[in-house]
């Protein structure tokens, strides 16, 4: 049966069908032409917009470079002045008024001290005590121009930090307002909704008309993936914008700094001209379509449908019994050949009617003979069907017996497989977790939990859990476990099946299991005692546990009990060993370390310098001695003296590598041994110790003015014992102390 969705008149009329097919063909052709024109216009529009956005980007890149160059020149012109002169401060305030993009200007000397600080409005860089460790300070000291990413301020604005080396020494840094920077460098279009913004080389948005997107990263957006996939930041294409709309974006790279300028226009603006053109084209296509349809209808009626109507009338006359029929269609095409064929067919049909009457008589005799044969075959088929039915019943009984045998064998194999996997668990530390996992996989359980209680006053403690879902369980169960433990008292069975929905009480733990669609449980208790014992809980969803599965768990219950006892014994032994190792580590630390400073003691230092193997690389030894320690002890007390010693020890430890050695060899004497270090490296460590010590001093501490360290260093010679090297370093230290 055909599926027909149009009116029946359509399927009975060849004229309507041909007109429909012809109209469909014309419509497809015209739609294809319109689509190709639309694609051409849209590609043309995209290329025009692409060129326009590229021009805007080039102008924006030029504006950015000019803006940064102007403000860098302003800072460089300021750097030639004297920062301590009052006229320099006045000139700086004039710069802040003339160049409104500047928020704040700071001049820092080489040591990190602020020598000039001016700002318009509330200061942002007021706390500069960590300026020596800042990235911009280090970069400017190296002679480089530093530009930071957009930094938020307390008033909601975003700022850029520009730092350059000063001509008179130090670093000059200026904070630039991002909003003023955008107004000065971005090219605006009054006729079209074009948006221009800037990103850094790491994908962070540096400047954007919408402040919400500043400092966000575009590495996860299609824009960044498209730019990096082309291997060049200069890229154009259709993407999803930060606001979520479809836009045409064009990027332009900058050389210094390495930023990327992005200009975007809504793709609806690009389509506008194409849609207008396709509307005009569609109207013309519809007019042409209706004109061709009317002309085709008249031509098809003259060429095809009139001869077909004559043929239909001839066939109707034949059906009414008329036999002298002749079609007079004088044409040489296919319809003329069809009319001649019908005339020949009418003549042959009259001849065939006579022959059919003779064949009917012969067929009646043959039909009677075959009917008799069919009755005989039917009788034989009934006998064969009875034999097949009896044999089928016998085979079904045999198959049922074999299935039962196979099921028993399969269950025995599952028991043997479970026992084999449990016997393969050898590690006592992970035996309980592996036990729960193997039981869960063998019994197709959603949850296997092992609980322990060592004495009557203790709660049930969760020792191991296997779960197919992400469930959360308390570490100890007290009232919840009583619901299960009460089932064992007076019950001789080691395994008890439980249906949660039939329990009289449902504490939180049971309710949590039901929320996870766990309905049926098997409870296995190992030691049926009220004082102590272990409880194994096996749970799953809608399918209850079969008697075969319960019997399998009973068989392996003895092995489970032994594994639990071995795991608990191993845990207690492991705790005892861990305690002994902790005590040994404490004793080793006390024998090798100085109790006040945490550095190595004199014993470890003497063992190190007594090592007489030849040194293939130079070793640097630095001897240190604290000045004024006795005066600090006499003036402020020994607690301040100890604080003085610990402060120096911390400065030494922070200034050396992990493979170097620092030791306290006397009350106020320290030694540093630098492996594979020449004289230059040793002097760098001495300078680093002095700088670190000064940075750690608190000016309000009364001992700050008394802290002085005398240091001397010596480099080992080939074949020279380290003891001799230490003596030379000690002599150099005393020489410095005398000077």
**530 & 679 share domain:** no
Does any domain span residue 33? Answer: yes
**232 & 379 share domain:** no
**271 & 359 share domain:** no
- The angle formed by the CA atoms of residues 514, 519 and 524, to the nearest 5 degrees, is 110
Task: State which H helix or E strand residue 53 sits in.
Answer: helix 14-79
CA-based end-to-end distance of the chain: 117
Strands (E) in 481-628, as ranges, are 495-499, 520-525, 533-540, 619-627
What percentage of the chain carries pLDDT values higher than 70?
72
How many Cβ atoms sit within 10 Å of the Cβ of residue 518? 22
The list of the chain residues with pLDDT below 50 reads 1-3, 5, 10-11, 528, 530-531
Query: What's the gap between Cα 153 and its chain centre?
Result: 31
**165 & 274 share domain:** yes
Q: What's the pLDDT score for residue 5?
A: 46
At 619, which CATH number?
Answer: 3.30.70.270
Does any domain span residue 81? Answer: yes
Does any domain span residue 590? Answer: no
Strands (E) in 189-256, as ranges, are 195-199, 205-207, 236-240, 246-253
**41 & 150 share domain:** yes
Model confidence pLDDT, tens digit, residues 520-538: 887 777 654 544 667 778 8
Edge-to-edge strands of the sheet including 195-199? Answer: 205-207, 195-199, 260-266, 246-253, 236-240
Q: How many CA atoms lie within 13 A of 218 on its CB side?
A: 29
Q: What's the pLDDT score for residue 528?
A: 46
Structure tokens at 449: 């939990």
Distance CA 429, CA 570 (A): 7
Does any domain span residue 413? Answer: no
Does any domain span residue 651? Answer: yes
**353 & 446 share domain:** no
**628 & 718 share domain:** yes
**143 & 72 share domain:** yes
Does any domain span residue 296? Answer: no
At 68, which CATH number?
Answer: 3.30.450.20
Q: What's the pLDDT score for residue 11?
A: 46
| Listed residues 529, 554, 573: the one ending a domain | 573
Number of domains in the chain: 4
Does any domain span residue 211? Answer: yes
The answer to whether the CB of 557 falls within 8 A of the CB of 535 is no
**614 & 569 share domain:** no
Q: What's the pLDDT score for residue 82?
A: 83
The answer to whether the CB of 644 falls within 8 A of the CB of 632 is yes
Does the pTM surpass 0.85? The reply is no
**379 & 273 share domain:** no
Domain span at 494: 425-573
Q: What's the pLDDT score for residue 352?
A: 81
Distance CA 504, CA 29 (A): 77
Q: What's the pLDDT score for residue 714?
A: 93
Radius of gyration of the chain (CA): 49
Q: What's the pLDDT score for residue 362?
A: 86
Strands (E) in 166-217, as ranges, are 171-177, 195-199, 205-207
How many Cβ atoms sit within 10 Å of the Cβ of residue 717? 13
Q: What's the pLDDT score for residue 622?
A: 93
Q: What Å distances lie between residue 225 and 203, 229, 353, 582, CA to CA? A: 10, 6, 82, 53
Strands (E) in 141-228, as ranges, are 146-147, 151-152, 158-165, 171-177, 195-199, 205-207
**216 & 119 share domain:** yes
Does any domain span residue 412? Answer: no
At 528, which CATH number?
Answer: 3.30.450.40
**391 & 472 share domain:** no
Structure tokens at 377: 């075959």
């Amino acid at each position: 049966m055909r599926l027909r969705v149009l009116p029946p008149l359509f399927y009975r009329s060849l004229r309507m069908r041909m007109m429909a097919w012809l109209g469909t063909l014309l419509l497809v052709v015209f739609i294809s032409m319109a689509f190709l024109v639309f694609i051409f216009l849209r590609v043309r529009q995209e290329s025009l917009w692409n060129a326009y956005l590229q021009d805007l980007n080039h102008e924006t890149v030029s504006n950015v470079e000019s803006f940064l160059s102007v403000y860098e020149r302003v800072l460089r012109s300021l750097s030639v002045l004297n920062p301590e002169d009052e006229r320099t401060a006045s000139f700086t305030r004039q710069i802040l008024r003339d160049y409104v993009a500047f928020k704040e200007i700071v001049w820092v000397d080489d040591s990190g001290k602020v020598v000039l600080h001016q700002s318009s409005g509330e200061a942002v860089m007021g706390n500069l005590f960590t300026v020596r460790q800042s990235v911009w300070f280090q970069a400017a000291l190296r002679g480089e121009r530093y530009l930071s990413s957009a930094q938020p301020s307390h008033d909601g604005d975003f700022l850029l930090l520009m730092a350059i080396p000063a001509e008179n020494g130090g670093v000059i840094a200026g904070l630039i307002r991002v909003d003023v920077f955008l107004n000065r460098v971005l090219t605006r279009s009054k006729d079209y909704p074009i948006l221009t913004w800037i990103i850094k080389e790491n994908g962070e948005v540096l400047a954007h008309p919408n402040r919400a997107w500043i400092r966000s990263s575009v590495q996860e957006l299609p824009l960044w993936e498209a730019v990096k996939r082309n291997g060049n930041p200069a890229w154009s294409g259709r993407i999803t914008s930060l606001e979520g709309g479809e836009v045409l974006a064009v990027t332009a790279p900058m050389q210094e700094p390495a930023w990327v300028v992005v200009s975007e226009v809504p793709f609806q603006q690009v389509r506008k001209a194409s849609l207008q053109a396709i509307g005009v084209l569609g109207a013309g296509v519809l007019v042409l379509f209706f004109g061709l349809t009317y002309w085709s209808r008249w031509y098809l009626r003259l060429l095809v449908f009139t001869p077909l109507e004559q043929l239909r009338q001839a066939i109707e006359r034949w059906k009414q019994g008329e036999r002298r029929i002749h079609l007079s269609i004088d044409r040489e095409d296919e319809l003329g050949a069809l009319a001649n064929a019908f005339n020949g067919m009418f003549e042959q049909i009259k001849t065939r009617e006579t022959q059919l009457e003779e064949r009917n008589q012969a067929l009646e005799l043959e039909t009677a003979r075959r009917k008799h044969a069919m009755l005989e075959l039917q009788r034989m088929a009934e006998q064969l069907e009875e034999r097949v039915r009896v044999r089928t019943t016998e085979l079904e009984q045999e198959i049922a017996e074999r299935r039962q045998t196979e099921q028993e064998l399969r269950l025995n194999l599952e028991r043997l497989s479970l026992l084999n996997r449990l016997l393969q668990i050898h590690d006592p530390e992970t035996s309980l977790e592996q036990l729960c996992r193997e039981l869960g996989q063998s019994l197709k359980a959603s949850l296997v939990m092992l609980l322990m209680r060592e004495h009557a006053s203790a709660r049930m403690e969760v020792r191991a859990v296997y779960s197919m879902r992400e469930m959360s369980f308390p570490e100890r169960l007290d009232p919840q476990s009583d619901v299960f433990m009460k089932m064992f008292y007076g019950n001789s069975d080691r395994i008890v099946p439980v249906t949660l929905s039939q329990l009289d009480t449902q504490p939180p733990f049971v309710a949590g299991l039901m929320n996870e669609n766990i309905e049926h449980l098997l409870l296995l208790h190992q030691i049926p005692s009220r004082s102590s014992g272990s409880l194994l809980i096996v749970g799953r969803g809608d399918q209850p546990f079969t008697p075969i599965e319960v019997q399998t768990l009973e068989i392996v219950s003895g092995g489970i009990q032994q594994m639990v006892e071995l795991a608990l014994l191993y845990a207690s032994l492991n705790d005892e060993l861990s305690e002994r190792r902790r005590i040994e580590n404490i004793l080793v630390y006390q024998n090798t370390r100085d109790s006040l400073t945490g550095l190595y003691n004199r014993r470890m230092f003497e063992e190190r310098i007594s090592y007489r193997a030849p040194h293939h690389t130079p070793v640097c030894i630095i001897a240190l001695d604290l000045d004024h320690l006795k005066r600090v002890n006499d003036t402020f007390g020994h607690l301040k003296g100890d604080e003085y010693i610990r402060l120096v020890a911390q400065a030494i430890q922070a200034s050396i590598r992990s493979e170097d050695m620092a030791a306290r060899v006397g009350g106020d004497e320290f030694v540093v041994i630098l492996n594979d270090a020449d004289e230059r490296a040793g002097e760098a460590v001495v300078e680093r110790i002095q700088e670190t010590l000064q940075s750690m001093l608190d000016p309000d501490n009364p001992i700050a003015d008394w802290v002085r360290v005398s240091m001397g260093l010596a480099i080992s010679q080939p074949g020279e014992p380290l003891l001799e090297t230490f003596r030379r370093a000690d002599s150099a230290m005393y020489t410095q102390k005398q000077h």
